[in-house]
Amino acid sequence: MRDRTVKNKNSIPPSLQALLDARLHDPFDYLGLHSHPRGWVLRVFLPYASKVEYWADQWVPLDKTHTHGLFEFQGTGSLPPLPCRLRHEEDGQSAETWDPYSFSPLISDHDLHLFNEGRLLRMYDMLGSHAVTHQGISGVRFAVWAPNAERVSVLGSFNHWDGRQHPMRARGSSGVWELFLPLLTPGALYRFEIRNRQSGQILIKTDPCGQSFERRPGTAARISPPNTFPWSDALWMQARAHQDWLHAPMNIYEVHPGSWRKPGGDDTFHDFNTLADMLIPYLREMGYTHLELMPVSEHPLDESWGYQTTGYFGVTSRYGTPEDFRAFVNRCHRAGIGVLLDWVPGHFPRDDFALARFDGSALYEHEDPRLGAHQDWGTLIFNYGRNEVQGFLLSNAHYWLAEFHVDGLRVDAVASMLYLDYSRKAGEWIPNIHGGRENLEALAFLRAVNWMVHEQFPGAVTIAEESTSWPMVSRPIYLGGLGFSMKWNMGWMNDTLRYFSRDPVYRRHHHQDLTFGQLYAYTENFLLPFSHDEVVHGKKSLLDKMPGDTWQRFANVRLLFTYQMCFPGKKLNFMGNEFGHGLEWQVKQGLDWSLLDIHWHQGLQRLSRDLNWLYRDHPALHELDFEAAGFYWIDCDDADHSVLSFVRKDRNGACLLVVLNFTPVPRFGYRVGAPTRGYWRERFNSDSGFYAGSNLGNGAGVEATDIPWNQQPHSLVLTLPPLAGIILER
């Protein structure tokens, strides 16, 4: 029965005034279905509706009790069943829905507790937007963390982007807000409108846990469908879990997905499906074991290369949907290619639509710029000491590994995370509680990430881009290390490129640049990188770093790759290095593949391919990368001739003899010590005519004599081609 009590429409209750002012903290306490002294009342706020009806065995109209869109129905007797079914008219169109404020909460108190402790590894299942069925009704659940908000609303085309219409439910002191919107479907764009509790400032923010976003320059998140991808990489995942990666080959091809190949102009990109069609066959032909993708998380600025992320859980819309990326990884795995992702937990951009001062306070960052501002990049530093922030990043690492089956994370800018005084002058930083410069919270976070990855995802690796002498980066946590699988050997890379950039006539004075690396080569599990950072910002391409005429420059690069492949450590090369890209990398331009019409570039690409396969096929070049037993010098002191010779061994004692000539002067009759007698076959020669070299060498091979040399019982008399390396196998 309906109560026809007359109301004074000129008196506005405080809750209604707060609703109209978009300040209502607890909309569920006012909107929806509530007990009433004479029965019950149903309140619905639809400011764009001309008529609202409620289903009670028939459609019953609600009274419009305020001109701005409040509709009410007062009934007697017991409360009707929930949720409440509604029908409303707007712009002459009628639509049926369910009252969002008559649904119960979805997020459990247990999950909220784990979230506040930073221990909810699948936080991405709780926060963000998710298509679900709740109380028998399909729709989308939204949730966001904004503890300093007075009010948070969902915005979208489904509510005219009006923050008054769908204010969210505050979940106690957790700082989490949630709302279920019935009948909403994936694909819709949305944002959050946040009103700060202290200042009253209104902020429009994209979803920190959004899993899909609109194409830049738009910044709205997009509701994603549930993950139902039919994975078919079970054999790969099972093998990965049992792989002895420490003793396996790892040769990584680093790629920026948007510029490896371009379909057209600067602002065009191949999607993941097309990229897979082209890239995977190339990786297989060239013999790479792994693909490392520069960040594929959502970012607004192409020129940031993805390292200034605004959507940590979103696959960038430049290259397709999350489903497309899953299919890409799946195809890589089925082709025998591992997939690594660049991951950026060290800093985030100041864009006002994203994480920066998310709820009007320094939520993800530090309030004090001496802790929270990254001076080199103009970005903000995560507050690793806050449980929820650490949980956000832990969950993000978990997300890429669990939801996309990636095989590891290359963690960007680790050095900047370790030190409180990184790139800061005296007085511009705050010491830790012990008075030191170490960032203790960041250390705890990095150890937590590495522990989680190795515990939850057997066979997955973590790689630190760390450029300082911080000890035990790739040593186990229980021994006091940071727990990374590997560390980039930045010292080796810098020494090597500095040496190769010198005119060969001066190299004899800098021989130690090539030998010094062996003094620390086994203190960490090192990866030898020639990454994108070495071919940008005026550093020149690898080819242009080399001195001499065209022949010498290409010979130097061939020698560089031979040296890299034979030196202990896993390998990484940036796209284009393998065929001698002549220009610095430009993010807006695709690689110049037409260079492969020129024999110099063809030869270098062939050399890269053959070296890659030799590295994979011969255990001596990879089995003992991280152990001193896998390497010993034959002669590291011949600076006068700029020649190095050494042996690489596998666990069974099989060995390769490597001899490198770093000058353009051929060496005839050059004697080198050999560990055993017999015939030594020339397995590889970087000066081969097949690689556009001068084709000088030792034919099929050389017989070892019993003349001791270089503290070895036997020796070989070799012809050393100019600016070249040879690899001999007994």
Instruction: Identify the band that residue 80 occupies on the pLDDT scale cut at 50, 70 and 90.
Output: confident
pLDDT at 78: 81
- CA–CA gap between residue 65 and residue 138 (Å, rounded): 30
pLDDT at 10: 54
What's the average model confidence in pLDDT over 8-24? 82
- Which amino acid is located at 323 in the chain? E
pLDDT at 265: 75
pLDDT at 36: 80
Q: Residue 283 in contact with residue 523, Cβ under 8 Å?
A: no
- pLDDT above 70 covers a percentage of the chain that reads 98
The structure tokens listed for 312 are 């940590």
Q: What is the full DSSP assignment across 128-143? A: EEEEEEETTEEEEEEE
- CA–CA gap between residue 416 and residue 490 (Å, rounded): 14
If you ran DSSP here, which 8-state letter would residue 348 be given? B
pLDDT at 119: 96
pLDDT in tens, 538-597: 999 999 999 999 999 999 999 999 999 999 999 999 999 999 999 999 999 999 999 999
Contacts of 171 (CB under 8 A, 6+ apart): 105, 107, 112, 177, 178
pLDDT at 730: 92
The structure tokens listed for 599 are 């024999």
Instruction: Share the mean pLDDT of the chain.
Output: 95
pLDDT at 38: 84
Residue among 410, 408, 398, 459 nearest 236 (CA): 459
- Which residue of the set 53, 365, 407, 465 is catalytic? 465
CATH number, domain 247-620, options 3.90.1150.10, 3.10.270.10, 3.20.20.80, 3.40.47.10? 3.20.20.80
Residues linked to residue 341 through DSSP beta bridges, in sequence order:
293, 409
pLDDT in tens, 505-522: 999 999 999 999 999 999
- Protein fold of 628-729: Immunoglobulin-like (2.60.40)
What is the signed CA dihedral for 123, 174, 25, 196, rounded to 10 degrees?
-80
pLDDT at 3: 44
User: Whole-model pTM?
Assistant: 0.95
Active site residue 368: no
Kindly report each contact of residues 270-279 with a partner whose C-beta sits within 8 Å and lies 24 or more positions away, as own/partner: 270/319, 271/319, 271/320, 271/324, 272/319, 272/320, 272/324, 272/325, 272/327, 272/328, 273/320, 273/324, 273/327, 273/328, 275/319, 275/328, 276/327, 276/328, 276/331, 276/332, 279/255
- Which residue of the set 342, 388, 407, 412 is catalytic? 412
Instruction: Identify the band that residue 4 occupies on the pLDDT scale cut at 50, 70 and 90.
Output: very low
- Which amino acid is located at 280 in the chain? I
What is the signed CA dihedral for 121, 124, 127, 128, rounded to 10 degrees?
170
| Tokens 């790739």 sit on residue | 474
What HEC string does 626-689 produce?
CCHHHEEEEECCCCCCCEEEEEEECCCCCEEEEEEECCCCCEEEEEEEECCCEEEEEEEECCCH
| Tokens 């081609």 sit on residue | 721
What's the average model confidence in pLDDT over 85-98? 94
| Pairing of the two strands 63-66 and 70-75 | antiparallel
Q: Residue 401 in contact with residue 453, Cβ under 8 Å?
A: yes
- CA–CA gap between residue 693 and residue 610 (Å, rounded): 14
pLDDT in tens, 386-423: 999 999 999 999 999 999 999 999 999 999 999 999 99
Residue among 408, 356, 395, 350 nearest 377 (CA): 350
- CA–CA gap between residue 368 and residue 385 (Å, rounded): 14
| Residue 245 DSSP SS3 | helix
Would 14-102 and 247-620 be classified into the same CATH topology? no
- CA–CA gap between residue 496 and residue 475 (Å, rounded): 25
Q: Residue 477 in contact with residue 513, Cβ under 8 Å?
A: no
Q: What are phi and psi of 110, to 5 degrees?
A: -65, -45
What's the average model confidence in pLDDT over 94-100? 95
Higher local confidence (pLDDT), 37 or 133: 133
Active site residue 465: yes
Residue among 486, 484, 493, 545 nearest 517 (CA): 493
- Protein fold of 14-102: Immunoglobulin-like (2.60.40)
| Pairing of the two strands 643-649 and 631-635 | antiparallel
Where residue 23 falls (left for φ over 0; alpha for ψ -120 to 50; beta otherwise) is alpha
CATH, range 109-222: 2.60.40.10
pLDDT in tens, 666-705: 999 999 999 999 999 999 999 999 999 999 999 999 999 9
The structure tokens listed for 41 are 């009342």
pLDDT at 123: 97
pLDDT in tens, 314-355: 999 999 999 999 999 999 999 999 999 999 999 999 999 999
Q: Residue 24 in contact with residue 167, Cβ under 8 Å?
A: yes
- CA–CA gap between residue 719 and residue 44 (Å, rounded): 90
Q: Sign of the CA dihedral 43, 44, 49, 51?
A: negative
What HEC string does 377-400 produce?
CCEECECCCCHHHHHHHHHHHHHH
How long, in residues, is the chain?
Answer: 730
- CA–CA gap between residue 461 and residue 487 (Å, rounded): 11
Residues linked to residue 680 through DSSP beta bridges, in sequence order:
702
Q: Indicate the domain borders of the chain.
A: 14-102, 109-222, 247-620, 628-729
pLDDT at 1: 38
pLDDT at 586: 94
- CA–CA gap between residue 543 and residue 338 (Å, rounded): 28
pLDDT at 86: 96
pLDDT in tens, 266-290: 789 999 999 999 999 999 999 999 9
Helix axes 234-242, 322-334, angle to 10 degrees: 70
| Residue spans of alpha helices (H) in 287-419 | 322-334, 369-372, 387-404, 414-418
